[in-house]
Amino acid sequence: MNLEAKAIDIRKDIIDLIYKAGCGHIGGDLSVTDILVDLYYKQMNVSPENINDPDRDRFVLSKGHSVEALYCVLADKGFFDKKELFDTYSGYLSKYIGHPNNKINGVEMNTGSLGHGLGVAVGMALAGKMDNRSYRVYAVLGDGEMAEGSNWEAITAGAHYNLDNLTAFVDRNRLQISGTTEEVMTADSQENRWAAFGWNVLSIPGNDITAIDSAVSLAKGTAGKPTVIIANTTKGCGVSFIENKAAWHHKVPNEAEYQQAMKELSERRAQYE
């Protein structure tokens, strides 16, 4: 499978879903897409066939507001009916809520309030160690989310227990709802901060699937400590007028913007035909 092409297809789905539902966190969805594509289509041992297998890999989307990206990947992988998702997302009585919910096939844990997912992932990784299971645990955090103190409790514990079966990502797109992360609350240097707490730190171009894939493989081969991958991403990645604009944190495209975004993505997708 060509993962770059898949990532473009998922981006088109995300924009479709948000346009149709009239809501969604488009900027963060597009920055995290490549990480999800590498994990779900290449690196993680999880599929609709093994969702109850105790040895499956675990994924926690701590930045739960990027749920549209996660739902589009899970639907494409066949965890649930894509048409049902698109027909009902965030609508009256829909089971597809605007943040991940573990009643949905493929979602391990409810998230949405920031600063929870890594602690939960530490618990999952500890359970794997206790039971001598080979599964790995992945958590994706936002960079604005790193201001949550509870994350640093989890980071401390992850290093204390040498959880080398745990890999965290920081989606370092440098924007949050009110502006740049550095204006709102200094987030640099994530690399130094995690390293000081005892984690193996990898810093990569976060929308480059080859780089993501290499980093995940490196993390798998790192013994004795957990790994964090600081994914230096572009918020809104893949659509020119959405990229790097805080206003697109959860703005919904109008018809013209929708057409323009789909046109850009389709043109890029055509290169892979």
Partner 1 sequence: MNKIANKQVINDVLLEESAKDKDIVVLCSDSRGSAGMKPYAEQRPEQFIEIGIAEQNLVSVAAGLASCGKKAYAVSPASFLSTRSMEQAKVDVAYSNTNVKLIGISGGVSYGALGMTHHSATDIATMGSMPNMRVYLPSDRLQTECLIRTLLKDDKPAYIRIGRNAVEDVYQEGNVPFELDRATLVKDGSDVTIIACGELVGDARKAAQELEEKGISARVLDMYCVKPIDRDAVIKAAKETKLIVTVEEHTMYGGMGSIVAQIVAGNAPVKVVNLTLPDEPVITGKSREVFSYYGLDAKGIVKTVMEQL
Q: How many chain residues are in contact with partner 1, going by CB under 8 A?
A: 31
What CA–CA distance (Å, rounded) separates 89 from 98?
8
What CA–CA distance (Å, rounded) separates 210 from 207?
9
Residue 58 binding partner 1, by CB under 8 A: yes
The rounded radius of gyration (Å) of the Cα atoms in the chain is: 17
Task: State the burial class of residue 160 (Cβ atoms within 10 Å of its Cβ: 0-12, 13-18, 19+).
Answer: exposed
Side chain identity at residue 35, one-letter code: I
From the list 167, 116, 179, 109, the residue with the least C-alpha distance to 139 is 167
Q: Which stretch binds partner 1 (CB under 8 A): 149-157, 177-185, 223-231, 235-243?
A: 149-157
Closest contact distance (angstroms) between CB of 150 and partner 1 is: 4
Binding test (CB under 8 A) with partner 1, winner from 49, 83, 92, 130: 130
Residue 113 binding partner 1, by CB under 8 A: yes
Binding test (CB under 8 A) with partner 1, winner from 112, 179, 198, 205: 112
* SS3 of residue 171 by DSSP: strand
Residue 265 binding partner 1, by CB under 8 A: no
DSSP class of residue 185 equals S
Residue 127 binding partner 1, by CB under 8 A: yes
Residue 109 binding partner 1, by CB under 8 A: yes
Q: Which stretch binds partner 1 (CB under 8 A): 33-41, 81-89, 127-135, 187-195?
A: 127-135
Residue 102 binding partner 1, by CB under 8 A: yes
β pairing state of 137-142 and 179-180: unpaired
The footprint of partner 1 (CB under 8 A) covers 54, 58, 102, 108-113, 115-116, 118-128, 130-131, 149-150, 153-154, 156-157, 160
